[in-house]
Amino acid sequence: MTAAIRPGDRFPPRRRRNAASTLASIFTVFVSLTLVGTSLMAQQGVDRATERWQGGIEFIVFMNPEATQDQIEGLRSDLKSNPQIANVEFVDQDKAYQEFKELFRESPEMVESVEPKVLPPSFRVEPVEKDADVITALSDSYNGKPGVYEVISATDTIRLIQKFSGFLTLSILLFAGALLLVAGFFVQRLSESEKPAPLT
Q: What is the pLDDT of residues 117-145, one digit of tens each?
A: 999 999 999 999 888 788 889 999 999 99
162 in a structural domain: yes
Same domain, residue pair 55 and 144:
yes
Same domain, residue pair 141 and 62:
yes
Q: Which domain CATH number covers 83?
A: 3.30.70.3040
Same domain, residue pair 57 and 103:
yes
Alpha-carbon distance of 93 to 122, in angstroms, equals 8
Instruction: Give yes or no for residue 63 having a pLDDT over 90.
Output: yes
pTM for the model: 0.55
Same domain, residue pair 78 and 101:
yes
Work out how many domains the chain is built from and give that number. 2
57 in a structural domain: yes
Which pLDDT value is given to residue 45?
54
Same domain, residue pair 134 and 175:
no
Same domain, residue pair 135 and 179:
no
pLDDT in tens, 148-182: 999 988 765 555 665 666 666 667 667 766 766 76
Same domain, residue pair 112 and 94:
yes
Same domain, residue pair 66 and 147:
yes
Same domain, residue pair 117 and 148:
yes
**The sheet that has 122-127: what strands, in order across it?**
85-91, 122-127, 59-63, 148-153
41 in a structural domain: no
Nearest of 53, 120, 115, 64 to residue 92 by alpha carbon: 120
**Structural domain for 161, as ranges:** 156-189
Dmax over Cα atoms in the chain, in whole Å? 105
Same domain, residue pair 100 and 56:
yes
2 in a structural domain: no
Same domain, residue pair 135 and 169:
no
Same domain, residue pair 92 and 173:
no
Which pLDDT value is given to residue 154?
77
9 in a structural domain: no
